[in-house]
Structure 1
């Protein structure tokens, strides 16, 4: 699930705000070593969440979606329930860090 690259094309913030149900919005960059190192941890935590929407967005200077969420470090995972942030994990160090964020979602 997390092995897909970060998408250069970003959804609009209004589209994110209108999402229904649970979703994980992940900010990072394809060239980011810390992001690459975190992917196995993220994949492990999401492994049994096949129906969960996981949106990977390339972030960087001048990228409005990341700025609207106040993203400063990568990877940043924003856990959303019906378009509202319910948890956030920045630079997860373990799969448990991601699972703790997932626990805030009702899937």
Structure 2
């Protein structure tokens, strides 16, 4: 399952991670975010080599601002501390896996 992280955990968990990290920017009130959540959790469970983190934009607005998140849900794929791809809105599992292969 994807782990919800906050501002104090973000740097060590995401920016300093040398592997692949998927960050799911969401809010608890967001309907599309609720639709995307099970897909993100499924990817987290099926891929031990990928770290999946969730950031609540209401509780961590500075992270959302730093990553220029304008709409949610937004998925950001980070490899070696650098953003390599992004999607906005609900996407299917296939699209997320394609993002991870870039």
Q: TM-score normalised by the shorter chain: which range applies?
A: 0.7 to 0.9
* Structure 1 segments (4+ residues) deviating >4 Å: 12-15
Unaligned stretches of 5+ residues in structure 2: none
Deviation sequence 1:36-90 (CA, Å, 0-9, x none): 0112232344442123111111103971111111101111111011110011111
Give the number of aligned pairs. 101
Quote the RMSD (CA, aligned, Å). Answer: 2.4
Equivalent residue of 2:68, what SS? Answer: coil
Residue in structure 2 matching 1:27, options 6, 25, 28: 25
Unaligned stretches of 5+ residues in structure 1: none
User: In terms of mean alpha carbon deviation, does 61-70 or 73-82 score higher?
Assistant: 61-70
User: Structure 1 residues 61, 47: closer, same or farther in 2, change over 3 A?
Assistant: closer
Equivalent residue of 2:64, what SS? Answer: helix
What TM-score do you get using the length of structure 1 for normalisation?
0.77
> What is the rounded CA distance, in whole Å, between the counterparts of 2:33 and 2:101 in structure 1?
22
What TM-score do you get using the length of structure 2 for normalisation?
0.80
Q: Greater share of helix residues, 1 or 2?
A: 2
Q: Greater share of strand residues, 1 or 2?
A: 2
